[in-house]
Structure 1
Amino acid sequence: MTTTTLAERDDTRVRSGLGRALDVINIIAERAPETLGVSTIARELCLPKAVAYRILKELVADDFLSFNEDTKRYRLGAGALAVGLAALRALDVPDTARRYLVRLVRDSGETATLSVRQGWLRVYIDQVLSPHEVRMSVSLGTSHPLHSGSSSKAILAALPEVEVEEYLAQPMRSVTSATITDPLALRAELIRVRQQGYAVSMGERQSGAGSVAAAVRYGTGQIFGSISLCGPQDRFTPQVCAAHGALVAAAAHEISAELGYRVPAARSPADQD
């Protein structure tokens, strides 16, 4: 027969309570900016309402949650914000992304790159080269406009619509004969990027080069930049683009998740709390 000491039983109780409190914080974070009432929280976490209320009361007392007396709903508080900001300060995005670049090269055989957004430009800051003798390489530190190439279009497509329209209102120069400079054509291209989850370029930034890219987000939802796979255009057939596009989209999602980003949950009908 297995026995436990009082200390072990207390530790189990404390860990269980901590886990429940974290579940409450997580569900409120996932549903932000929507605020939640105790009934919704209890129902979605399968908790007795009295237990959920006790956890919420303690989290409000510690400033991890804020309670609106008028609506009787909860949102994240200053304590949660302080923890989140501390985590952001500790993040090293290139270091986080590096192992995903290595994995992309292993899985695709093509060069993987990381770009960071800087205003209406983006800059290459890292790459892992393809093992092929004939391969693509980029010049780190060089900047490129947000309409030329897959890395640029992935960033532009992920920006808020007001920023996209501001960019499209500016003159856009051709980098190669394939660069999209017509606002209507580029707007349609950005819709396609959003629908498939990654951008494709065939010689739009560099003649003879093919690439696919997806946007990377900070935990706040703001755009950090993008990751890409690139190589000679003749190797980037439609089938290869689809396969490589799925790889970069998955990697960008994982990097963003490590940076704290969570896809906003669908809003639910208001609960009756």
Structure 2
Amino acid sequence: MVQAVHRAIHVLRELATATPRLGVTELADRIGVAKPTVHALLRTLESEGMVVQDRETGKYRLGPGLVTLGNAYLDSHELRTRAVTWADLLANQAGAAVWVGILTGSQVLVIHHAFRPGGSVQVLETGASLPWNACAIGKAIAAFLPAERRGELLAGELARVTGASIDDPGWLATQLDRARETGYALEEGELTLGDGGIAAPVFDRSGEVVGGLGLVGPVERILAETARQECAIAVREVARSLSRDLGAPRNAGLRAAG
């Protein structure tokens, strides 16, 4: 491990969680290194556009260079590239927003967001990082992971985003078992009160789960008794089509050991 690179990444991560900016002393305290070292790291990162300094306060925040890197990552991600058409198809079919996400650590990174049809004002969620246990996509992915990895997630920190968020490992394990049986996972008010989600796993040519695709919207629209089954079937079928587009074998999902 190259220490300087590790420290620079640590600085960027601290700035990503800071509100709204951090100074040299604050960063030095957070990452446990001397102020001159942090100052040198910040100057280097600033020269590359990775951080910018507020001229009035002298504090630092993330810079525009990271947007370029993030966009390049998304543009080169095979799942996102192939998911765009399928996500748009599902959004139009169900009349709801569609997210496509991948698991990074214990978070789900939204790599594509197809807006709900209708032209109403909506917030683009691409790039959002969500606790795996509080969203349907995270549950759909976790349900089809190898047993050891699934166990690590259940044994780790389980975030409570709303009062409905589930932080009981046993309850979550039951939900994951159910998702393996049905091919899709549900979330009701666990990420945003009043909203829910239905998501299914997506597999690649190796047969391993690489992400998830799901509907997101008002509970009464997608989780009501009259709509839930229809939406769930649509999500599962589109996810299967996307998996086939990625070269997944027909028995994908059966390989993930329970």
Query: Where on the TM-score scale, by shorter chain, does this alignment land: which range?
Result: 0.5 to 0.7
Q: Deviations over 1:236-256 (max 9, x none)?
A: 203312111111111111111
SS at match of 2:134: coil
Structure 2 letter corresponding to 1:249? R
| Larger relative contact order, structure 1 or 2 (CA cutoff 8 Å, min sep 6) | 1
Instruction: Return the alpha-carbon distance in structure 2 between the equivalents of residues 106 and 131 of structure 1.
Output: 6
Gap change, CA 1:142 and 1:95, over 3 Å in 2 = same
Q: Is the 8 A contact 2:207 2:251 kept in 1?
A: no
Give, in whole Å, the separation in 1 of the partners of 2:91 and 2:251: 30
Paired amino acid for 2:242? I
Scaled by the length of structure 1, the TM-score of the pair is 0.60
**Native 8 Å contact 2:113 2:125 kept in 1:** no
Alpha-carbon deviations, 1:13-57, whole Å to 9, x = none? Answer: xxxxxxxxxxxxxxxxxxxxxxxxxxxxxxxxxxxxxxxxxxxxx
- Partners of 2:225 and 2:176 lie apart in 1 by 18
**Which residue does the alignment assign to 2:136?**
150
1:250 corresponds to 2:250: no
1:102-129 deviation per Cα after TM superposition (whole angstroms, max 9, x unaligned)? 1101211111111122122210111111
**CA drift at 1:263:** 3.0
**1:49-106 per-position Cα deviation (integer Å, ceiling 9, x unaligned):** xxxxxxxxxxxxxxxxxxxxxxxxxxxxxxxxxxxxxxxxx98321211111111012
1:80-99 pair list within 5 angstroms: 92-99=78-85
Report deviation, 1:133: 6.0
Unaligned runs of 5+ in 1: 1-89, 267-273
Determine if the alignment matches structure 1 residue 185 to structure 2 residue 143. Answer: no
Give the alignment's TM-score, normalised by structure 2.
0.64
RMSD after superposition? 2.3
- For 1:120 and 1:168, how far apart are their aligned partners in 2? 10
How far apart are 1:222 and its partner, in Å? Answer: 2.4
CA deviation vs aligned residue, 1:177-206 (integer Å, no higher than 9, x gap): 111110110011111111111111111111
Q: Is residue 111–residue 135 contact of structure 1 (8 Å, CA) maintained in 2?
A: no
The answer on 1:127 being equivalent to 2:113 is yes
Stretches of structure 2 that go unaligned for 5 or more consecutive residues are 1-75
Larger radius of gyration: 1
SS of residue matched to 1:147: helix
